[in-house]
Copies of this chain bind each other. A is one copy, B any other.
Amino acid sequence: MKVKDKNELATLQKAVLEANLLLYNSKLALHTWGNVSAISKDRSYYVIKPSGIPYEKMQFSDMVAVDLENNVLESELNPSSDTPTHSLIYKADHRISAIVHTHSPFAVSWAQAGKEIPALGTTHADNFFGAIPCTDSLTDEQINGEYEHNTGLVILDHFRKNQLDFIATPGVLVKEHGPFCWSDKSAIDAVKLAMTFEEIAKMAFYTKLMNPLQNQANPVLQRKHYNRKHGKNAYYGQKK
């Protein structure tokens, strides 16, 4: 019993369950695939989907609380096997409050093709500043070692080397694997972004088949659309 504020825990568990169900009902994953987590206010622990439990049967109390060193704090269930990847992403940027991993088919296909998703139009630019990156492969040693931890490291390395900001680029493709994305708002918001990620991946796939030479939309147009929705001069939506 290492989580003190049981109310916050239950609230987080309910939010994480709701977000996992949205993931499943939006067809971003089959069976028991995919997972959503969300972190506590003081960032001392986060709550994540249990491993291998069917979405239809999950109760909010099944959501597993783990600390950032991957220790289970509260639960008799195993957390998602991708837990160490989540931990590293939370540690990489303190603004990140929820993380999603899916097996949505177009995003996975870009990852399997080993290609970043180019920013080909305003639907993309409204949500991601620049291409959605694709990591390098893990080395054989990384795969045979602490695999899920090393998956996180490969993501972090990619962002560091390419000087990417985790909020402006709130998602990534892990090569030969699939998409991860995150939100600085909430678990539900992170799943909505995963839906957007798949829609963008689909549109980019169709666009490249129609016009293989198209590499990116005008960067001025990309910046305009990104700033319309994000940052201090954003004017999309209602005053808060």
Interface residue ranges, A against B (CB under 8 Å) = 30-33, 50-53, 77-78, 81, 103, 105-106, 108-115, 120-123, 137-138, 140, 143-144, 147, 176-178, 192, 195-196, 199, 202-211, 214, 217-218, 220-221, 224, 228, 235-239
Contacts and interface: CB of A to CB of B under 8 A. Distances in A.
A114 B212 CA distance: 11
A77 B206 CA distance: 36
B144 A121 contact: no
A208 B210 contact: yes
Contacts of A204: 112
A121 B236 contact: no
**How many copies of this kind of chain does the complex include?**
4
A125 to B, nearest CB: 9
Counting chain B CB atoms within 10 Å of each CB, the highest count among A112, A143, A177, A217 belongs to: A112
Contacts of A147: 224, 228
Contact of A199 (B50, B105, B113, B220): B105
Given A115-B211, A176-B120, A238 B78 contact: yes
- Going nearest first, the 3 A-B pairs with the smallest beta carbon separation are A52-B237, A109-B206, A113-B211
Contacts of A78: 235, 237-239
Contacts of A208: 210
B220 A144 contact: yes
A42 B122 CA distance: 34
Given A30-B192, A109-B203, A113-B210, 15 more contacts: A32-B237, A53-B238, A105-B203, A109-B206, A109-B207, A110-B210, A111-B121, A112-B204, A112-B207, A115-B211, A122-B176, A138-B218, A143-B221, A205-B206, A208-B210
